[in-house]
Structure 1
Amino acid sequence: MAKVLMSTSYDPNFPPENVLTNNTKEFWMSTGLFPQEILLSLSSPSTPRNLRLACSNVRHVVIEGCEGNHLGNFTKVGETEIGSNGGDIQKETVDLNVSRPVNFLKIVFLSGWDEFISVHLVKVD
C-alpha cells in the first residue's frame, strides 16, 4: 500500500491523502499553479507496471521513481497526455518503465486544461 508523503498544494478540505481512499467523491485539489506534485512512499521496494489515475482537468503528467530509502535521484518512469473532457472525471492508466525496485513515486502534473486540477484516485499496480 502506498502512503502520501508530500504534495505541493494543501487544503484541509481536500488533503492529498484523499487520492488513496478508493472513494472518488474525496479528492485532492491543486492551488492553480503548475507544476504540481504528489509524492508517494511505497510499502516496500517494487517494480510497478502502471499507475492508474482518476482526475479532472489534468493535461500532462510525468511519473518519476526513486530507488533506495532516501529521497534523492528521481528518474522518469512514465508520461502521458490526457485529453480534455470538459471537467468530467478522467480515467487514465500510465504504463511505467521501472527496471529496478523503487521505494518512492512522484506524480508531476505539468499542465492542466484549467487553472485547477483534482485527483480522485491513485492506484499503483
Structure 2
Amino acid sequence: MFDVGHRGGGASIVLATSNDQKHPPENMIDGSEETFWTSTGLYPQEFIMGFGHMMDIQRVNLSSYNIRHIQVEKCTSQDPTSFEPLVDRDLPQTDGQLQHEDIDIKTQATYLRFIIDSGYDHFCAVHKLNISGNALHG
C-alpha cells in the first residue's frame, strides 16, 4: 500500500467549499503537516478528493484541527456526482494540538468526499490527508 491521495501521485482536490489563498486545499495532500487547508467559517465544509481512476482504499489518516464531526463518502463513477456514505465520526477535542485520526474504510473509489458538519471553533483546518491503498488495474 502507498499514499494514493498524495498530490505527487496524481490525486487532486477537485472541490473545496473554502479557499484561502494562503492555505489552499492542495496543502492537505502535499505530504506535510506544516502546511494546511483552512475553512473560512460556517459549517458544513466539504472537500472532494479525486484519484483519476479506481483505487482500492484501506485507510484514511487525517491530521486536523478543531473538527468536531466528519463524514466520509465514496463515489465509484468517472464523475463525482453520486456518493455513498462510508464513515460518520466524532473527533475528540485536543486543546490546541493536532487531531490524528485513523479511519479504516476498506473500499474501492474514484472519489472521496469529506463533509465536516461541525467544529470546536468557527474555523477548522486539515493539515495532512493520507489515503492508504493501491491502484486497481484492469
Could you state the TM-score of these two structures normalised by the residue count of structure 1? 0.92
Asked if structure 1 preserves the Cα contact closer than 8 Å seen for 2:46 and 2:115, the reply is: yes
Q: What corresponds to 2:96 in structure 1?
A: 87
**Residue 76 (structure 2) pairs with residue 56 (structure 1):** no
Q: What CA distance in whole angstroms lies between the structure 1 residues aligned with 2:41 and 2:19?
A: 11
- Which segments of 5 or more consecutive residues in structure 1 lack a partner in the other structure? none
The CA deviation at 1:97 is 4.7
Q: What corresponds to 2:127 in structure 1?
A: 120
**Residue 116 (structure 2) pairs with residue 102 (structure 1):** no
Q: Identity, % of aligned pairs? A: 28
Asked if structure 2 preserves the Cα contact closer than 8 Å seen for 1:59 and 1:112, the reply is: yes
**RMSD after superposition:** 1.2
Asked if structure 2 preserves the Cα contact closer than 8 Å seen for 1:55 and 1:90, the reply is: yes
Which shows bigger deviation, 87-96 or 43-52?
43-52
- Which segments of 5 or more consecutive residues in structure 2 lack a partner in the other structure? 1-8, 133-138
Q: What corresponds to 1:32 in structure 2?
A: 41
Could you state the TM-score of these two structures normalised by the residue count of structure 2? 0.84
Structure with the higher strand share, 1 or 2: 2
Which shows bigger deviation, 37-46 or 9-18?
37-46
After TM superposition, the runs of 4+ consecutive aligned structure 1 residues lying more than 6 A away are none
User: Which amino acid is 1:45 matched to?
Assistant: M
Q: What corresponds to 2:54 in structure 1?
A: 45
Q: What CA distance in whole angstroms lies between the structure 2 residues aligned with 1:80 and 1:66?
A: 19
Task: Give CA-to-partner distance per residue, 1:41-95, whole Å, 9 cap, x none.
Answer: 0142023121110000011110000011012110111222111011311100112
